Amino acid sequence: MRAKARTDPIRSILVPVDGSASSRRAVQLAAEMSRAFGAKLTLLHVAPIQELPVLMSEAEDPREDREAELVLGEQAKIARGLGVEASVVVRRGRIATQILRHVEGSKPDLVIMGTRGLTGAKSLLLGSVSRSVSRRAQSQVVLVR
């Protein structure tokens, strides 16, 4: 079955970022597309929380906040270097779930994301975020290697 061709203009692009090489490539592609289409660009980073914290205070790690600021700052700098100002959003929780919730709420025309965030055993345990988002998102999704 062929996918229906998209004819609507692209006005908003969401890029979930994690600091990986494929995430940086996704930001570059999204910034170029944003500039070409005059679309709003949003960068989203999800700070994971511990699944079973011993104390509630352990669920929110200040190191995760600093990492989110660093990742988003680096990615926004890439977009600025390509002539695009991006808005940034930080969410907490399970990564794929939070990305999908953001997509549902903001309804971007396009989601562009990398495919190689986590590696090794962590990837097997958590599953593929990009696979989950591409299967379940109501927006068009472009995956970047």
Identify the CA nearest to 15 among candidates 24, 7, 6: 24
DSSP calls for 72-90: HHHHHHHHHHTT--EEEEE
**Mean pLDDT, rounded, for 87-97:** 95
Q: What is the CATH number of domain 12-144?
A: 3.40.50.620
Are 86 and 79 contacting, i.e. CB atoms less than 8 angstroms apart?
yes
Which pTM was predicted? 0.84
Q: What are the φ/ψ torsions at residue 52 (nearest 5 degrees)?
A: -130, 75
Q: Where are the domains of the chain?
A: 12-144
Q: How confident is the model at residue 116 (pLDDT cuts 50, 70, 90)?
A: confident
Under DSSP, the state recorded for 5 is: P
pLDDT score at 125? 41
Placement of tokens 């939070």 in the chain: 98
pLDDT tens digits for range 31-70: 999 999 999 999 999 998 766 555 555 555 677 788 899 9
